[in-house]
Amino acid sequence: MLVNSMSCSLADARLFPAGSCLGSVRARGVVLKGSSSRQCLKVEGRVNSIYWRSNSPRTIFKVKAVAAPVAPASADTAEHRRELCEKYGFRKIGEPLPDNVTLKDIVDTLPKEVFEIDELKSWKSFLISATAYALGLFMMAKSPWYLLPLAWAWTGTAVTGFFVIGHDCAHRSFSKNNLVQDIVGTLSFLPMIYPYEPWRFKHNLHHAKTNMLIEDTAWHPLWKDKFESSPFLRMAMIMGYGPFRLLMSIGHWGFWHFDLTKFKPQEIKRSLISWASVFTFMGFGWPLIINKMGMIGWVKLWLMPWLGYHFWMSTFTLVHHTAPHIPFRSSEDWNCAQAQINGTVHCNYPKWIEILCHDIGFHIPHHISSRIPSYNLRAAHKSLQDNWGKYMNEATWNWRLMKTLMTSCHIYDKEENYLAFEQLALPLHESLPIAFLRKVMPDYA
């Protein structure tokens, strides 16, 4: 008999004489087994109580089922992982990586050639982004108003390709010359007015502390005590982690990269140089656009592609490290290899996006070793599939996946990984944004 959606805690196992029960009762992983010789269990209603009859007809025990929080069922069977895939919009959910496997064990299985820097391929990638961006500027300048959304989508994606170029530079996988990498990285980040060096310092911490509850500098689940600290903050979190989640990287950009108190003394000089580059770009580029085309031109040629970039930045950050089955762990419980291979998601996007964004969706090999250039990520991913494929999470970008992430993954919970906002018994007006998303977002996978 299968009991769904609850967990039972049986108060005292001594109530059950040996060999006194039929078959098995299963309650989300709790199984009672025994002899099948007699009918001895009676389950009432929604399993609020279980009557247990021993071999003696005069002995009947009533055992109360105690409701307990249901921890996210571990992906311990192929059948259960398939069920989670269907529910969450994944293509594959990996098995838990054994505790004794180290990150070095995984890195050592990768072919040496995936780490090799081919500067011709690096500059080819830069040329793809530069050409796509130039084409986007032309489209925005010449398109009639009704085609502007397509021009903005293209240009925002092309700008994201520049981010990936700078991303390779920050990981020292673009060129063998670090000065070249710093110059290219700084220039590539300018259209997004992103300070390259501050981002590089913080992003390296993300790789070193992936999905570590406090130390990771990417997105975290929200803390329940902060969420409940004030109505204003609570509503801001609901909107930010709900309808505006795919623009949340704007907040991350502003919070992490323009405050010198967040950097070590030895990082401040390089951070200031990056700030100077960004403010110089703004000081010359923005007035030039406004002088020639007015504020409408500034919105049309810069702001809208910038928002498009942040859409992709937010989407990639969310998809690649967030899912109901992926935990954030405290530093005491954190395992480096598990965080990188079990806590990272490979996602396939439409082909044109993968081309313009230089295969950023092949994210697991990038977290196994950030020294792999973007143009080698596919080969590295294939190697990982051959050797470690059963531990890897894979998805194809789809509506159900995004709906799951935006409506379910909100508040940190040690047992369940995430709680949705609605699980905290919100007032009606505060629950409306997430209820709206649940209603309007398609459930196609």
User: Which tens digits make up the pLDDT trace of 241-254?
Assistant: 999 999 999 999 99
Residue 129 lies in a domain: yes
Domain assignment present for 224: yes
Position 333 scores a pLDDT of 94
For residue 195, what pLDDT band results from cuts at 50, 70 and 90?
A: very high
Flag whether pLDDT at 177 surpasses 50: yes
Q: What is the pLDDT of residue 14?
A: 34
Instruction: Quote the number of domains for the chain.
Output: 1
Kindly state whether residue 427 falls inside one of the protein's structural domains: yes
Q: Is the pLDDT of residue 90 over 50?
A: yes
What is the domain extent for residue 365? Answer: 78-440
CB contact set of 82 (below 8 Å; sequence gap of 6+)? none
Residue 55 lies in a domain: no
- Render pLDDT for 28-60 as a digit per residue (tens, 0 to 9): 333 333 333 333 333 333 333 343 344 444 444
Assess if residue 421 is contained within a domain: yes
Of 11-15, 128-132, 167-171, minimum mean pLDDT range:
11-15
Whether the pLDDT of residue 20 is over 60: the answer is no
In a domain, residue 289? The reply is yes
Residue 58 lies in a domain: no
Per the confidence metrics, is the pTM higher than 0.85?
A: no
Average pLDDT over residues 253-282: 96
Residue 420 lies in a domain: yes
